[in-house]
Structure 1
Amino acid sequence: MFRDPFCRFSIFRRVQPLVQNTFHLLFAFILIIFLVTCYFSASNENNETIKQGRDADSSSPSEYLPSIGHYFTHTTEFNKNIHNAPLSLRENTLFAFNSSNCPYKEWNQIRTDSIPNANRHADWAIQIKKPSKYLYHTSFALLAAFAHRDQIIVTLTSENQFKFVFKTVYCRYYDCHRKEIFYHFESKVFPQSTVFCARRPGAEYISISEKLNETPEYSVPIVPRLNKPPHYFTVCMATLYGDEPKFLQIVDFIEYYKLQGATFFHIYLRNVSNYDRVLLDDYVRTGDIEIIKMHDHFWRDDFMWHNAQINDCHHRSKFFSKWTALIDIDERIEMRDEKYKTIVNYLDTIKNLQIVNLHFKVQWVIKQNNTPATYVNDKQIIDEMNFHKYQNISQVGALWDQPKCIIRPEKIAIMTIHVPKAVYSGEQFTPVSEKIGVVRHYRNVKERVFSNALQRMMSHAPFKIIPISKWIDENLTKQIINRVKWVYDVIDVTCEEKQKIYKKHGGISAPCWIEEKAMKD
């Protein structure tokens, strides 16, 4: 507002640039002072708040939280050297959603409107002229679901829903909140305990129903199987049940096949003792196994779960492992050819893409006693190991005399206990010479379920003593001992030491302390 009067005089016209520059510099200097003052004022205020918080913490032994209504006692001195970072006003992008959102996931953004091999499934279904009506299920009894690039495979525990040739059912999809996505897919029950479904974007759970206007049973999570299989060779153990103690057989089974190159195990469980379960849970802890509990809403005896277990193992292993063995807890696939030290050594030599099922014959080993129920000491475990205690082995069984398989899961269409019923590609079975490998089957002479089991085993006489390979014996013994001791050889302390710890918990006393005191009194 003062520039116009000044400009009327020539002298001010000459000094105008100087005044103008000085004005700009003065304005910039005032702005800098203002910003610096604001910064130090905010910093002092923040430090004062922190100091007050520290003073309040150190001066008061307890803090009352009104929202909870409890006192929390500070038992340690506040560390004043801990740096208090300023609170960020921007939400971490990992948590940038609310209760109505389903987090975006790459794997479930696909929609398909058909399933592969549908026509082949229909042809196979027609060929099965008398579908099984096994057991008494009145619903599907979903077990699991697995997403592949072009379909979702749902496994069932029911074995009688294939009542009619290619029975129509509906795949029902649900988002992360289990709210139904109203884009169902019409499918069939095929094979006996399987339903193939199309994919839907956002689907994280799935169920099956006979009609669209009925409430389906509880949905199950969809497990992605979309990438390169993470494992080369895995093992599925048939359902565990029965009254014989299992812990030593379980550790023997897992450690044996780990020596053979297996890197993961699917363990199907009906029932075991609490003692046995501790060992299984420890293998879960270390990432060696997954436990699949075999149970549903309908009656069946424990030994009747085998078909459903085989079917689930087959589909659970697709694109999870290149090769999968389907065997029982008392069976050991044993390489006999010196060229193949382990099972994976043999699998590495198979280059023929037509080989999708390796068919192993069986030799039976007489097992006279149950394995021990608990760990006592190392000597007891070494003496009771199956491969130490039982070495009396039969002649090799015939080609179809209870053989067991190692399969390429994704190339098998229908899997049964002993052999595939149908394959998508390749040979239905490839017999393995007994000179290369056999199944060593430890058969207990006590006939718990099948009355002709002992007779069948004894029909393969004469028997002879054949120990397992020395390198397996040495390594397996060491691995079993290490695992058993880790799980069951709990390090104990004296009663006085226990009492010291008990007293820290409200002054209670150790049971042993109470017993000792009672005896003294």
Structure 2
Amino acid sequence: MLSQWIFLISFIPLTYSSISVTFSKNLKTIEEVKNAKNEIVHYVNLNEKTELPDFVLLENSTSVNFHNRHLTEKEESMFAISSSTCFVDEWNNIRTDSIPNQQRHREWIEMGIGKRNYLFHESFALLGAFVYIDQIIVTLTAENQFNKTVYCRYYDCRRKEIPDQFESVVYPESTVFCARRPGAKYISISETLEEIPEYSVPIVPRVEKPPHYFTVCMATLYGDEPKFLQIVDFIEYYKLQGATFFHIYLRNVTDYDRVLLDDYVRTGDIEIIKMHDHYWRDDFMWHNAQINDCHHRNKYFSKWTAVIDIDERIEMRSDSYRTITKFLDSIHEPNIVNLHFKVQWVIKDSNSPAKYENDQQLSKEMIFHKYQNLSQIGSFWNQPKCIIRPEKIGAMSIHAPLVTYSGIRRSLVNESIGVVRHYRNVEQRVFAGALNRMMIHAPFNISPVAKWMDELLTNAILSRVKWIYDIVNVSCDQKQETYQKHGGINASCWVQQQNNNSILKV
């Protein structure tokens, strides 16, 4: 199509503060722009007298140009904002002067409940923050700040400080309870009002009815054993048990393992919480901070939350309750706030595979197929694990609540209903006494998981793993065709083919 260049120096100003916005082609109104046969452009300049000409490509056409059809007279109200605008949602327009349970916290502090004085942090090391109807809770990774007086520092959506601080204390360990402030979107903690606080963290809302019924927290992932198969086994197992969301605490995994985790994030199954701060700590030393954050992160997010490790499976043994959620549905006693499960250990005498190779290899390596040598049942006091009502718990330890706001601290679940199947690796990478603790529960007997679980879990693991790692390949010619579209570069397989052909010709 024949085209021509037209020299345009038409400026009809629409002025906003010090900015001048003009139309090309000497047009004055949006209606004129909509009906223009050629594409119209804006000139955005400072409000000065200098007028810079521009060249605009115009095409011979008798119809209205499609670029000009979708103009509006007025900005949408939700975008009628400036760089200083902060909308305040109705749920976030609340101010409180106190926090609940202050007197009980003081009593527990005087009793030293939960005091650890662990590690050597010189600041609080914020991890997360959650707003509930009557308070904000900030979780920390520091574990040596017990009962220290602190100030809650609030920030709006632009991270501008709201000058309305609140005095509090660190209790339980690694936790600060704060009052609410209208418009607060971020929060930090400081020891004085004069000091510059740590980097603020976003406040996550927990002000509506819990969106989940049963969630699971996985203890911090670390160490050199490959984990992709254990991770997918863990998540798919508990999904079959009725869990609908997972909080996965991460110190380190391989890049290969991380691809799996990221895919679960993509599909909305999990949230990854990275365990890291400014201070020294060995990888296995994150457990207390992880448990504490899990507790508060799940308040008003789920009715029930299981607090367990990657190698632990809560297994229902009763014909009446095939899954965990069926069992939870049967509980109507409001004072049951912590379900305490005994443990049976399984000898795991080798590492999990580093990568997926094929379906046969994967099925053979699934931990419930490969490891079935089950110990006798331990006591309620020998490394039990629990399912809790988060909002009713005052403070947690690794294996059980320390105190509760309401309800009985321990509700002991009979082994005829359920136990924890704990796959214990015999290499003892960290804890030297772990193997002996398991072996005193001999004799061991071969005990596979239930047939229905075996079939469903095998299929679920295969499906997820193959979706992520079984990449669909294409031919070398197709690769070369695609590479050529990027500046004429060549696919490595194509280059190799050309080299091989040259050798054959010689």
State the one-letter code of the partner of 2:207.
L
State the one-letter code of the partner of 2:38.
Q
Distance 2:56 2:380 in 1: 72
Structure 1 segment 51-62 matched on structure 2, within 5 A: 51-53=37-39
Residues 109, 365 of structure 1: CA spacing in aligned structure 2 closer, same or farther, 3 A cutoff? same
Structure 1 unaligned residues grouped into runs of 5+: 1-41, 55-62
Distance 2:152 2:293 in 1: 18
Matching of residue 110 in structure 1 with residue 94 in structure 2: yes
Residues 508, 242 of structure 1: CA spacing in aligned structure 2 closer, same or farther, 3 A cutoff? same
1:304 partner SS: helix
Q: Pick from 429, 437, 441: which aligns with 2:422? A: 441
Identity over aligned residues, as a percent? 67
Offset of 1:44 from its aligned partner? 9.5
- Residue of structure 2 equivalent to 1:126: 110
- Residue of structure 1 equivalent to 2:489: 508
2:457 partner SS: helix
Matching of residue 319 in structure 1 with residue 319 in structure 2: no
Stretches of 4+ moved more than 6 A in 1?
63-67
Deviations 1:182-235 (A, max 9, x none): 111000000111000000111111111111111111010111100000000000
1:414 partner SS: strand
Q: Pick from 72, 77, 87: which aligns with 2:71? A: 87
TM (norm. structure 2) is 0.88
Residues 432, 44 of structure 1: CA spacing in aligned structure 2 closer, same or farther, 3 A cutoff? closer
State the one-letter code of the partner of 2:437.
R
Q: Looking at CA atoms only, which structure, 1 or 2, has the larger radius of gyration?
A: 1
Structure 1 segment 452-491 matched on structure 2, within 5 A: 452-491=433-472
Residues 161, 503 of structure 1: CA spacing in aligned structure 2 closer, same or farther, 3 A cutoff? same
State the one-letter code of the partner of 2:80.
A
- Residue of structure 2 equivalent to 1:161: 145
State the one-letter code of the partner of 1:53.
E
Matching of residue 243 in structure 1 with residue 224 in structure 2: yes
Offset of 1:174 from its aligned partner? 0.7
Offset of 1:107 from its aligned partner? 2.1
Deviations 1:460-485 (A, max 9, x none): 00000111011100000000000000
Residues 511, 340 of structure 1: CA spacing in aligned structure 2 closer, same or farther, 3 A cutoff? same
The answer (yes or no) to whether the contact 1:97–1:103 under 8 Å persists in 2 is no
Structure 1 segment 296-375 matched on structure 2, within 5 A: 296-375=277-356
Distance 1:485 1:399 in 2: 39
Deviations 1:149-188 (A, max 9, x none): 11000000000011xxx32111111111111111110000
Deviations 1:485-507 (A, max 9, x none): 00000000111110010001100
Distance 2:334 2:483 in 1: 64
Residues 129, 484 of structure 1: CA spacing in aligned structure 2 closer, same or farther, 3 A cutoff? closer
Distance 1:66 1:184 in 2: 43
Offset of 1:45 from its aligned partner? 5.1
1:278 partner SS: helix
Offset of 1:517 from its aligned partner? 2.5
- Residue of structure 1 equivalent to 2:373: 392
State the one-letter code of the partner of 2:181.
R
Q: Could you say which structure has the higher strand fraction?
A: 2
Deviations 1:76-118 (A, max 9, x none): x9x9896964522121011121111112322211000000000
Q: Could you say which structure has the higher helix fraction?
A: 1
- Residue of structure 2 equivalent to 1:256: 237
- Residue of structure 1 equivalent to 2:130: 146
Structure 2 unaligned residues grouped into runs of 5+: 1-28, 46-54
Distance 2:143 2:208 in 1: 30
1:268 partner SS: strand
Residues 267, 53 of structure 1: CA spacing in aligned structure 2 closer, same or farther, 3 A cutoff? same
Figure out how many residues of one structure are paired with residues of the other and give that number: 465
- Residue of structure 1 equivalent to 2:49: none
Residues 85, 124 of structure 1: CA spacing in aligned structure 2 closer, same or farther, 3 A cutoff? same
Matching of residue 100 in structure 1 with residue 81 in structure 2: no
Residues 48, 255 of structure 1: CA spacing in aligned structure 2 closer, same or farther, 3 A cutoff? closer
Residues 307, 130 of structure 1: CA spacing in aligned structure 2 closer, same or farther, 3 A cutoff? closer
State the one-letter code of the partner of 1:333.
I
Offset of 1:520 from its aligned partner? 3.6
User: Which region of structure 1 is more displaced relative to structure 2, 99-108 or 317-326?
Assistant: 99-108
Distance 1:167 1:389 in 2: 49
The answer (yes or no) to whether the contact 2:345–2:423 under 8 Å persists in 1 is yes
